[in-house]
A and B are shown apart, each in its own frame.
Chain A
Amino acid sequence: MDARGAAEGRTAVTLFSTDHRVIGKQYIGLALFSVLLGMLLSLVMRFHLVHPDSKVRLFQMLWPDGAPGGQMTPELYLSLMTMHGTIMVFFVLTTAPQSGFGNYFLPLQLGAKDMAFPVLNMLSFWTTALSLVTLLAAFLVEGGAPLSGWTAYPPLSGLGKITGPGQGLGQDLWIVSIALFCAASLMGAINFIVTVIELRAPGMGYFDMPLTCWGWFVTALISLFAFAVLLAGGILLLLDRSAGTSFFIPAGLVVNDQAQTRSGGSPILFQHLFWFFGHPEVYIAILPGMGLISTVLGVFSGKKVFGYKAMAIAMLAIGGLGFVVWGHHMFISGMSPYSSIAFSVLTLAVGVPSAVKTFNWLATLWGGRLRFSAAMHYALGFVSLFITGGITGLVLGQPGLDIYFHDTYFVVAHFHLIMGVAAIFAIFAGLHYWFPKMYGRFLHEGLGKLHFFLTFALVYAVFVPLHFAGFVGNPRRYPDFKEYEFLKTVLPLHIGVTHAAYTLAAVQLLFLGNYFWSKRRGAVAPANPWGADTREWSDD
């Protein structure tokens, strides 16, 4: 065939490649696209929170129904918030660290040729992509994106349009997207687990694996169980919406002055299903990062990771305990107050292995010879942010105290610090650390460090103040703060946060520039630039 045909042939091959390296890069590309989208949404949200009345033509162009005359409606804000959360949790933090880096480096570090099931691997990527498209389609349909948050509690999410615009087709698409994502993650999890169990290099025992592999392995195990339950929850919610069932919808509702004909389901039941998935999910987001950070800290302090075995066991403990603490999201939900006490004790217990990891990271640095590469900077930033974000978990973990903080900005601050940025810092560290392997070139070190310092300072500036909005009692998921006297006092705080957020987002351009510039023009890297001892640097 002619050259063009051949080229097309090749692109088709790489698009649907079954090579774990290509698939890894595809996942990272997907995450990068998603994180930028999620970031833009967060800026629009931040803008609206402090300028609720200003008319913006751009909004009108983007969302004709959502922002008539450029004036953003509350329902549009809520749908942006829902999409922001969903995109960030699922399509950034569940893809990049696990499916992205994991696909690329798990086989290499185990000394395997590829993942166990390359075709399945390709399928799971394209299912994820389809899931993302389905989610984004919600923006385009009549009524727009759903407004029930990334937690989609029924009855708000279970009754259709009647509970608000976006609760019609938009919410359906959201659920379908999540169901597809579950399927993709299950495929991925199976692939990862089989690869670890069957394809370790001859003579490599489980406790000879690098901690990165442990992170991916435990995460895959969690995914295998967590997504199975979310899938069930999604199916039932979809039935409530489409087949008129009432799993999650009690009898005798009068919505919008229309009496509903439903028979006694339970709204809280859905919360149990969601959080049984939801809490393990947050560990899915952080465990691969923990593994990576351990490696990076070891390499750049010229030492072995301190307490390797304890680290691996701590991950297993976090994975296991992570399945019995979901109730800490439901202290205020009306479930039995006795179960709250049990959940609270277990919740604080899960802090212990996390603390163990923190101590071992410190001990790894102790007595080392620290080389401050860009990757090392992000790794240290991760540890700092993990402490800052985790520590507030110990406050929220007490039901008595959560009474006040639940659904306030204190929670928003907690999870942005530990998830929104600590986990993202792990991705930055990973990119700077592995870029030479992935593209044969370095990410520009100086630019990387500059981006680190600015981002590190700014995320504190954005998210630490939000704790204090929480102290004032500022509820989350409010499109504006005009209705309440007590919220007028927090407005200055929010204005400061918003400006910090703009700057933070602008600073991300440094990273993007660096990323795309270095791919082509970056300094060419030797085979093992950091003097690491894991296999990925020595193979081929």
Chain B
Amino acid sequence: MAIAILIAALAGATVALFFQPRWWFPDAISAHARAYDSQLVITLWVVGCIFVAAQAALAWVVFRYRDRGQQPSAAAGNNTLELLWTSATAVVFLALAFAGQGIWAGVHLAGPDPAALRIETLAKQFAWTYRYAGADGVFGRVDIRQIDDASGNPFGIDSRDPKGRDDITEALLRVPAGRPVELHLKSRDVIHNFFVRELRLKQDVVPGMTIPLRFTAETPGTYEVPCSELCGLGHHQMRSSLVVLPPAEFDEWMREAQQKVAQP
């Protein structure tokens, strides 16, 4: 009796919370992010209905069949029912599974775009660094023996490789709005995770691997990048920022940066 009411009340409160605007996603800034949001909303409606249906059914049977001296039914099973709800759930769940694949494919199965701006992203305990290929558009070789954070060479760019001379190493991730970007995620020590909420993108950064991550940010602005894989005592402070600039500003910045590295 009382428990039926409580179940209903708690389920109701839970659903109600989903309509509060305060704690929700930040605005989407890419086509993928928008696709993500719509897929999520669909999913939330489906599972929300399941949730409400199931909890309501529970509350109702508890209320309806509370002890009022009635004779319990002798029903002990019904194969048609079993078959019915098994296949019903199977259909719903598998439909969800397949509906969900679109956004996944969009992020991970789309091939590389030759026009994309390639940026190497290096994670280490507990900082991020980004490397642009520079004027020649080619990344210089690296040599871990030359890694030296103090002199600003966390990648260990090989000084003997001329192609590396013009590489630009940065603490902020600057990208032009509207242009496809391809990050090459690398880690120097343990597993980290690159996460941009507004892009609805998250990817582990695994030592020993180079993992590509592709996106096209549309809205200029500065977005926080929190490390999202436990990497040690500084995990919660391993912060970086994605700065999306209007194309003109980006080119301007890039020119200056290239000049800086050009002067010895």
Contacts and interface: CB of A to CB of B under 8 A. Distances in A.
Interface in B120-174: 124-125, 144-145, 147, 149, 156
Contacts of B260: none
Contacts of B90: 349, 352
A370 B69 CA distance: 10
A407 B229 contact: yes
B208 A264 contact: yes
Contacts of B147: 254, 257, 259
Contact of B93 (A153, A341, A394): A394
Given A388-B51, A471-B25, A155 B190 contact: yes
B104 interface: yes
Contact of B189 (A155, A348, A369, A404): A155
Interface in A207-258: 250-257
B204 interface: yes
Interface string B197-227: 1001111101111010000000000001011
A303 interface: yes
Contacts of A403: 36, 103-104, 107, 200-202
A92 B100 CA distance: 35
A202 interface: no
Across the A-B interface, the 3 shortest Cβ-Cβ residue pairs = A250-B208, A398-B100, A367-B73
A479 B234 CA distance: 9
Given A153-B230, A478-B235, A486-B197, A255 B189 contact: yes
A252 B104 contact: no
Contacts of A295: none
A146 to B, nearest CB: 11
B66 interface: yes
A310 interface: yes
Contact of A332 (B62, B68, B203): B203
Interface in B13-55: 13-14, 17, 20, 22-26, 36, 39-40, 43-44, 47, 50-51, 54-55
A351 B89 contact: yes
Interface in A364-422: 365-372, 377, 380-381, 383-384, 387-388, 391-392, 394-395, 397-401, 403-404, 406-408
A120 to B, nearest CB: 37
A484 B239 contact: yes
Contacts, number: 333
Contacts of B104: 337, 340-341, 344, 398-400, 403
Given A384-B10, A477-B235, 10 more contacts: A266-B208, A334-B204, A337-B108, A345-B98, A359-B85, A362-B61, A384-B55, A400-B102, A460-B14, A475-B228
B234 to A, nearest CB: 7
B58 A362 contact: yes
Given A453-B6, A483-B239, A490-B23, A352 B67 contact: no
A372 B66 contact: yes
Interface in A280-303: 301-303
Interface of A: 73-75, 78, 147-149, 153, 155-156, 159, 163-165, 250-257, 259, 264-268, 301-310, 332-334, 337-338, 340-341, 344-345, 347-349, 351-352, 355-356, 358-360, 362-363, 365-372, 377, 380-381, 383-384, 387-388, 391-392, 394-395, 397-401, 403-404, 406-408, 453, 456-457, 460, 464-465, 467-469, 471-473, 475, 477-481, 483-487, 489-490, 493
Contacts of A265: 208
A479 B227 CA distance: 13
Interface residues of B, number: 103
Contacts of B2: 453
A46 B119 CA distance: 39
Nearest to B72: A302
A349 B36 contact: no
B236 interface: yes
B77 interface: yes
Given A380-B7, A473-B195, A484-B239, A306 B190 contact: no
B101 interface: yes
B93 A73 contact: no
A351 to B, nearest CB: 5
24 contacts: A75-B233, A159-B190, A252-B208, A253-B189, A256-B189, A264-B208, A268-B206, A301-B72, A351-B93, A362-B58, A367-B73, A368-B72, A370-B67, A384-B10, A398-B99, A407-B229, A453-B2, A472-B23, A473-B25, A473-B26, A478-B236, A479-B236, A483-B239, A487-B226
B242 interface: no
Given A155-B189, A351-B89, A78 B233 contact: yes
Contacts of B11: 384, 388
